[in-house]
Amino acid sequence: MDKFKSNIDDKALEDLNNKITNARLLDWGGDYNNDAGISFKKISYIIDYWKNQFSWKKEESNLNKFNQFIFTKDSIKTHFLHVKSTEENALPLLLIHGWPGSIFEFLDIIPLLTNPEKNSLKGNQPFDLIIPTLPNVGFSFSPSQKPLSLQEISIHFIDLMNTLGYEKYFIQGGDLGSFIASIMAVNAPKNISGVHLNMLPLPRGLDKEANNPEEAIYYEKLKHFMKFETGYQQIQGTKPFTLAHALNSSPVALCAYIAEKFYTWTDNDNDLFDKININTMLANISLYWFSGCIGASFWPYFMRHRSVDWPINKNSPINVPMGYSEFPKEIFSPPISLASQFYKNIVLWSSHASGGHFAAMEKPRELAIDINKFVNKTQ
């Protein structure tokens, strides 16, 4: 286990600045259809901010305040934060990000979970946090390293927690993190005290008949999502190399591709940076740029596209306690009647009036409170 600190050199920063400065942006589409992708106006604002106001060094310094390590097993390296509480009776909690996220999306929630007493959450359970970067992403990525599937990442994270000496622990995940957490719960149920999710990774078959009004509403929303919002899944699942070459050659292209997901998947009322911190989003995008990991980050989609079986299925249900935070702008939210077919021990189902896919960035306090409620219900 090696200690780690981020140290992106000035040459890389200068290269990024030059590429942004010399990028070609064409205003050909207008703003008449927000469903067509990120507009010229929006990407222009982000790129201008990235070039003239954003400070990678500041974000890097904030990241380096936390203890970071590299875990290596079977030639696979994983970068992770290990943030311990200063309060008594802390419980271990593994936080798992998804795509196109990173460890940066958890920075605002860390103090709320590790030291709730100091952050106006008196009486909340404190946690010792283990926050890995997915093996295909950021500081965990290496061009010579084999990219991993969701199942392989799950096994690797079980090994990480075992190596750290955690015999029992909780997991929280969203997006791909919800898949990984659920697979871990199937593979190592004796080690996992419970999983808390803010996205439910249920199979998306559209041939099902609704058994109640909630299921009917869900299936209609799912049909819309599958028709209009899954283009990224198709190309990442079929031709990831082709897309990766384009995105790795241009930071503006990379930014547009990732920023569009933040616009589409957050509860922002067309004012994204009123809901999330633009510096956090750009730190996340910069991490993808500096590491060159975007192609490898697609790999779970590529492997899943070629698999006959969905990662979560009724033949291997999740029996450990599960809690769910439902935010209305999540990309899809199955009702409890469907979730209970896969998660057999749902102890918390918390619905919120606002919020979206990047819950730890959009609603860190609400998410921290839900995690606390969930853990209390498992004790």
Q: Which residues are catalytic?
A: 175, 301, 357
Q: Estimate to the nearest angstrom the gap between the alpha carbon of 224 and the chain centroid.
A: 22
Q: Peptide bond before 334: cis, by omega within 30 degrees of 0?
A: no
Cβ burial of 274 (10 Å; 0-12, 13-18, 19+) is exposed
User: What string of DSSP letters covers 293-329?
Assistant: -HHHHTHHHHHHHT-SS-SS-TTS-B-S-EEEEE-TB
Query: Are the C-beta atoms of residues 122 and 369 closer than 8 Å to each other?
Result: no
Q: Which residues pair with 170 in a beta bridge?
A: 93, 194
| CA–CA dist 281, 273 (Å, integer) | 9
* C-alpha torsion sign, points 246, 103, 132, 262: negative
